[in-house]
Structure 1
């Protein structure tokens, strides 16, 4: 008798006779009613999944550190350089701000997506993120600043960003221009049509 056959016989002796469960007649399921999840449950599930997706999107594995005295700047295709210049010089009013000073990197990674999502839901276009700037390339504020530059690019709603002017936080703060929501675009089209008559 082979070793595997001997092991199988030992197993059967230990377990005894077994019968497969019939589908749909499980005793554990007998008392449960199979209802569809409520709208609130679906919304909570979607929110949790979206939060996990956003955090996964914002990797904190590796980042090229930005030198502490270099300004941050980014613009998507189709955004004019003049918009970035106006953004950098405070030409757009800060409609909201997020303070990340002295916060742990993981907390910043968690609050940034929620802040940007809420700003977009409220049709905000220009927001200011205050993060600080260290004097050394590997100082915590500069590490956060470097990650922030990497993370902001990952959001489709971010059209451009630029370091603030000296009076608004300098290299320790970043202006962010968000894409117009569909609701804001529709309102803008309606205003222009009324002007034309």
Structure 2
């Protein structure tokens, strides 16, 4: 007997009296209706509902640690380097400040979204976040600083951020530039139209 024929016989012996499912009954019966969520899905929904709205996207998963003496520097496409340089040198007044010094990472993760969203809602453009900086790469202030660099890129409202100058906190503080809200843009357009006559 050739190997292919033997494999076919072995397969048929293993399958025994198995029959194909008929059309319309080609789904496994899990014992509950197709519309009811599983216990895991219910737990995830409950966890998401307990999370303050819009804050669940900031992960406290693994982050690449920023060396303690490296400045933070980030800008979205379309933001001119001159704007970032002005931000870095304190050319924009701090319209709001968030102090995260010596606060647990989880508390910082919860505090950041409402701060950014509220600043944006009130048409603020430049804010300062004070977080501290440790001497060692894995020191708590430097870990927070590293997470902050990761988290800030996840906000659509954030156009750029840079480490502050020594007078404003140095590497232990970060300037953040927020984009203009639609309301602020409309006000700007209206002012420009009035100037033109």
TM-score by length of 2: 0.74
**1:56 aligns to what?**
56
**1:148 aligns to what?**
148
Structure 1 residues 99-118: aligned runs within 5 Å: 99-118=99-118
Name segments (4+ residues, structure 1) moved above 4 Å.
48-53
**2:191 aligns to what?**
191
Q: CA separation of 1:190/1:56 partners in 2, compared to 1, >3 Å: closer, same or farther?
A: same
Q: CA separation of 1:180/1:50 partners in 2, compared to 1, >3 Å: closer, same or farther?
A: farther
2:177 is aligned with 1:171 = no
**1:182 aligns to what?**
182
* Secondary structure in structure 1 of the residue aligned to 2:61: coil
Output the CA distance in 2 between the equivalents of 1:70 and 1:51: 33
**1:78 aligns to what?**
78
Deviation readout 1:119-178 (Å, 9 max, x if unpaired): 011000000000000000000000000000000000000000000011110000000000
Query: Which runs of no fewer than 5 residues in structure 1 stay unpaired?
Result: 1-47
The structure in which a higher percent of residues are helix is 1
Output the CA distance in 2 between the equivalents of 1:160 and 1:55: 20
Output the CA distance in 2 between the equivalents of 1:108 and 1:93: 23
Output the CA distance in 2 between the equivalents of 1:73 and 1:145: 12
TM-score by length of 1: 0.74
* Secondary structure in structure 1 of the residue aligned to 2:54: helix
Q: CA deviation at 1:50?
A: 10
* Secondary structure in structure 1 of the residue aligned to 2:174: strand
* Secondary structure in structure 2 of the residue aligned to 1:55: coil
Q: CA deviation at 1:195?
A: 1.0
* Secondary structure in structure 2 of the residue aligned to 1:171: helix
2:89 is aligned with 1:89 = yes
Output the CA distance in 1 between the equivalents of 2:119 and 2:175: 13
Q: CA separation of 1:83/1:52 partners in 2, compared to 1, >3 Å: closer, same or farther?
A: same
> How many residues end up aligned between the 2 structures?
150
Deviation readout 1:6-55 (Å, 9 max, x if unpaired): xxxxxxxxxxxxxxxxxxxxxxxxxxxxxxxxxxxxxxxxxx85954633
Q: CA deviation at 1:56?
A: 2.4
